[in-house]
Amino acid sequence: MTKLSEMKIDGLPVVDATKPITLHIGQHDIPRSKHRNPAACVAAQACMRDLGAESARIHLSRVFIKMPGKKQWVRYATPGSLRSEIIAFDRGGRFIVGEFELLAIKPSHRKAYTKKYNDKRRRHDLGKKTGKKRINHVTKGVRALAHIGMSAA
């Protein structure tokens, strides 16, 4: 897993959003969009039109926005309602337009907190096996988890 301080998109650093923003997605954003493309989907088109973003990458759990003149990307949490619309759209269904609140990253999901938590957990769990193996469900038929332009420094 890439540490946020090392995360870069197109060579620019990624920082966490501290305040939510509202995104207005309209019917006119749909014809210009592409299925399964985080940089050209309905929500990315709306970010560029509504927020004046230079570029946007919309993933199932995170939204990355680059504003003009800024030398960084801002990371937001994707709300569940937008995630559902993305899944339907990527699978060939309709995208229902509306307002979506892109969420600020919770303090517990920020780099400093997760590093401290993971270090403490590693020390505590050394050599222990804990119960049942967790089964992860992967949503299929939707955009890729990582964009080609993302990299670790």
79-137-117 Cα angle (round to 5) = 65
Which tens digit of pLDDT belongs to each residue from 71-89?
999 999 999 999 999 999 9
Query: What is the gyration radius of the CA atoms in the chain, in angstroms?
Result: 17
Name the residue with higher pLDDT: 127 or 1: 127
Q: What does the alpha-carbon distance between residue 17 and residue 118 come to, in Å, rounded to a whole number?
A: 22
Q: How far is CA 37 from CA 8, 12, 42, 102, 140, in A?
A: 19, 20, 9, 19, 14
Average pLDDT, the chain: 84
**According to the model, what pLDDT value does residue 124 have?**
55
The amino acid sitting at 54 is: E
